[in-house]
Amino acid sequence: MEKLLVVEDDPAVRTTLVTFLELEGYAVDAVASTEEALERLELSAYPIVISDIYIDQRTGLDVLDAARRRDPRCAVILMTARGTMETVMAATRGGAFDYVAKPFDLDRMLETVQRAQASRAEEEEEAGPEDLPETEMIGSSAAMVEIYKTASRVAPTDATVLIVGETGTGKELVARMIHRFSSRASQPFVPVDCASIAPTLLESELFGTLKGAYTGADRDRMGVFEAANRGTVLLDEIGDVELNFQVKLLRFLQEREIRPVGAARSKQVDVRVLAATNRDLQKMVDEGRFREDLWFRLNVVRIVIPPLRDRRGDVPLLARAFLNKYNARYQRDVRLLETGMKALQEYTWPGNVRQLQHLMERLTILAPNDRIDGDTVRGALSIMESREHPVETLAEAEEEQIRRVLAATGGNKSRAAQILGIERKTLYRKLERMKP
């Protein structure tokens, strides 16, 4: 076996990897910069290159490009602690063999190297790396990188994809990314919230209605499947569709034909269907509440987005990104302190990314002294939670609002009064009365 090339600027990771691979019997050249990597690749071809993505001004994608130019059969394994849909996509397009999230375990890396060695399959023409746009989808945990990999593999196909995850985990966002990286990207993406449309209206919403089909149908109405022709439809909350309508959906998925309500004939449409749910469809199938045949049909490819509490490593990335966004939007300069970040990471996030996003927006607006520390985070979170316990009277609602704002301002009464739109004196009076 010829030598492997390892490109990694972090000396600790480089040494660990090289030592490990050598113990496994590989001969390894190791370099610390993209430039050195490109020089080595000028001198000789390597069958396998393992490269970090973010090294210096140039990236692992340049290494990928050079290695594959040198030898189109070269298997390039990219590693990153900051994976995004865009980098995975660029890596896939550039012909990377695999994409490994850091920190990785060494056995996993060995397994990847062995697979690369075994396959060394011939690959098609490489495409140059593209400018990396800012990412919409944040998260570089191993779980998210797996999702990017599946999504980028399935995006260019017309396969139906079932996206499963708790509320606020980013199901719709994943669906949008799949659409954006498909050949349908310039065509419409239409999400349909199946849970919020009355069962009787869902059929005409999706398939359309002809004039005169029922009283009140005074004109032809185009359904979503037709309006989204050549594009993508997301059937959101698919678990909430009634059993008898599930049959119609199944038929549609098989035939790709629509028959508007009141129409005699059907017509062909070209739409890709993605579906999302926060329910356990398998369980619903077992209980007879979801048709098994439809489930099979939807479940061709499944993407499961884990809850945020199971990938806490993504919390800092998300928190920072949201803070930047809201600082810019509200022209603030709020800083997130260590203790604040720690409090965010310790929380369980029942509302997942959406909840984190809302919290960061609130904090950007309300943080006392433009600093978010641990107490501020915990205060704001307890307010968010208390919202789930409905209040009864107007007086109670007022008291609760006062407590919320006070917690969010870290007890700063002038600021609280300002936010509440009352005089400071009035606030003091109300606080007197509130004392138990």
Ligand X SMILES: Nc1ncnc2c1ncn2[C@@H]1O[C@H](COP(=O)(O)OP(=O)(O)OP(=O)(O)O)[C@@H](O)[C@H]1O
Residue ranges in contact with ligand X by CB under 6 A:
137-139, 165, 167-173, 278, 318, 353-354, 357
| Residue 139, binding choice from ligand X, Mg ion, none, Cβ under 5 to 8 Å by partner class | ligand X
Torsion of CA 356, 361, 366, 371, to 10 degrees: 70
If the CB atoms of residues 238 and 407 are measured against Mg ion, the closer one turns out to be: 238
| Residue 183, binding choice from ligand X, Mg ion, none, Cβ under 5 to 8 Å by partner class | none
| Residue 140, binding choice from Mg ion, ligand X, none, Cβ under 5 to 8 Å by partner class | none
If the CB atoms of residues 87 and 204 are measured against ligand X, the closer one turns out to be: 87
CA contacts within 13 A on the Cβ side of 13: 19
Based on the shown chain and the rule CB under 5 A, indicate whether residue 240 belongs to the binding site for Mg ion.
no
Q: Which stretch binds Mg ion (CB under 5 A): 123-131, 168-176, 326-334, 350-358?
A: 168-176
Q: How far, in Å, are 197, 216, 291, 405 from residue 242 at the CA level? A: 11, 24, 10, 42
Query: Measured between alpha carbons, how far is 100 from 88 in angstroms, rounded to an integer?
Result: 10
Torsion of CA 227, 229, 234, 239, to 10 degrees: 80
Query: Measured between alpha carbons, how far is 115 from 400 in angstroms, rounded to an integer?
Result: 59
Number of residues that bind Mg ion (CB under 5 A): 1
Angle at 273 between CA 270 and CA 274, to 5 degrees: 155
Q: Least distance to Mg ion from the beta carbon of 191, Å?
A: 8
Which alpha helices (H) appear in 271-412, and where do they start and end? 281-286, 292-298, 314-329, 338-346, 352-366, 374-386, 394-408
Q: Least distance to ligand X from the beta carbon of 270, Å?
A: 25
Query: Measured between alpha carbons, how far is 338 from 49 in angstroms, rounded to an integer?
Result: 37
Among 29, 172, 226, 346, binds Mg ion (CB under 5 A): 172
| Residue 165, binding choice from Mg ion, ligand X, none, Cβ under 5 to 8 Å by partner class | ligand X
Q: Least distance to ligand X from the beta carbon of 236, Å?
A: 6
Q: Least distance to Mg ion from the beta carbon of 13, Å?
A: 37
Burial of 103 (0-12, 13-18, 19+ CB in 10 A): exposed
Query: Measured between alpha carbons, how far is 249 from 255 in angstroms, rounded to an integer?
Result: 10
Q: Least distance to ligand X from the beta carbon of 20, Å?
A: 31
| Residue 278, binding choice from Mg ion, ligand X, none, Cβ under 5 to 8 Å by partner class | ligand X
If the CB atoms of residues 77 and 194 are measured against ligand X, the closer one turns out to be: 194
Q: Least distance to ligand X from the beta carbon of 406, Å?
A: 28
Q: E strands of 237-280, at which residues?
A: 257-258, 267-268, 272-277
If the CB atoms of residues 354 and 430 are measured against ligand X, the closer one turns out to be: 354
Q: How far, in Å, are 20, 150, 351 from residue 309 at the CA level? A: 32, 22, 10
Q: Which of residues 208-237 bind Mg ion (CB under 5 A)?
A: none
| Residue 138, binding choice from ligand X, Mg ion, none, Cβ under 5 to 8 Å by partner class | ligand X
Which residues bind to Mg ion, rule: CB under 5 A?
A: 172
